Amino acid sequence: MPITLYNYYRSSTSYRTRIALNIKGVAYDVVAVNLLKNEHKHADYLVLNPSGGVPALKVGEQVLTQAHAILEYLEERWPQPPLLPKNLEARANIRALCQIIACDIHPVNNTSVQHYLTETLGHSETEKMAWIAHWQAKGLAAFEAMIKPIAGTYCYGDQLTMADVSLIPQLFNARRFECDLAPYPTLLRIEAACLALPAFEKAHPMHQPDAI
């Protein structure tokens, strides 16, 4: 079945999805959707994803949207290697970590929110950067605190999970916006371990064909 990922190289939701596809060993084609050229707002893209965000994953004739829902789909469709632990409470905790990224940090710092802050509400670039740093710090501090007792090589001991898949793109994004990552030594240690893995390396924004 042909699989096509509509994505943008430095979008963290796209990056998350690429990592998970690579870990699962799923072959996929990539279509670049240039956010700077507003291609995500074109009528033909809105047919695929009425929310107008990347990614969208076309599996045969079905279109899947929402990066975390796509991760869950990949986990159910290709259970090996697993990206969730077996233990039920641990699974809930891994999903909670994913939601810190997907619900508490990403939406409030999304490009459209940044534009609304500056263009509609008239905030300065400095105020926008302060806003981004605030929500990144709040979310990353909670993430660091939650994994401290359970981390090993990765967020959940030595098992790679969706938490790592979600974390690494968020750290890339935090760096892009010059957020201070020094308060999160556990996250930085895990980031170094993940970036050494081929699935993460292949998914890296700067290794995408649309990277500039």
Ligand X SMILES: N[C@@H](CCC(=O)N[C@@H](CS)C(=O)NCC(=O)O)C(=O)O
Q: Write out the residues near ligand X by the rule CB under 6 A.
A: 11-13, 35, 40, 53-54, 66-68, 102, 110-112
Q: Tell me how far, at minimum, the Cβ of 68 lies from ligand X, in Å.
A: 6
Q: How far is the C-alpha of 186 from the C-alpha of 193, rounded, in Å?
A: 11
C-alpha distance from residue 187 to each of 22, 87, 155, 212 (Å): 21, 23, 8, 27
Q: Tell me how far, at minimum, the Cβ of 31 lies from ligand X, in Å.
A: 14
Q: How far is the C-alpha of 94 from the C-alpha of 28, rounded, in Å?
A: 26
Q: Tell me how far, at minimum, the Cβ of 11 lies from ligand X, in Å.
A: 3
Q: Tell me how far, at minimum, the Cβ of 133 lies from ligand X, in Å.
A: 17
Closest CA relative to residue 155, chosen from 102, 103, 87, 90: 90
Q: Tell me how far, at minimum, the Cβ of 93 lies from ligand X, in Å.
A: 20
> Under 8 Å CB-to-CB from 116, ≥6 apart: which residues?
none
Q: How far is the C-alpha of 85 from the C-alpha of 22, rounded, in Å?
A: 19
Of the two residues 25 and 116, which places its CB atom closer to ligand X in the complex?
116
Of the two residues 112 and 124, which places its CB atom closer to ligand X in the complex?
112
Of the two residues 11 and 161, which places its CB atom closer to ligand X in the complex?
11
**Closest CB to ligand X belongs to which residue?**
53
Cα-only R_g, the chain:
17
Of the two residues 65 and 161, which places its CB atom closer to ligand X in the complex?
65
Of the two residues 94 and 151, which places its CB atom closer to ligand X in the complex?
94
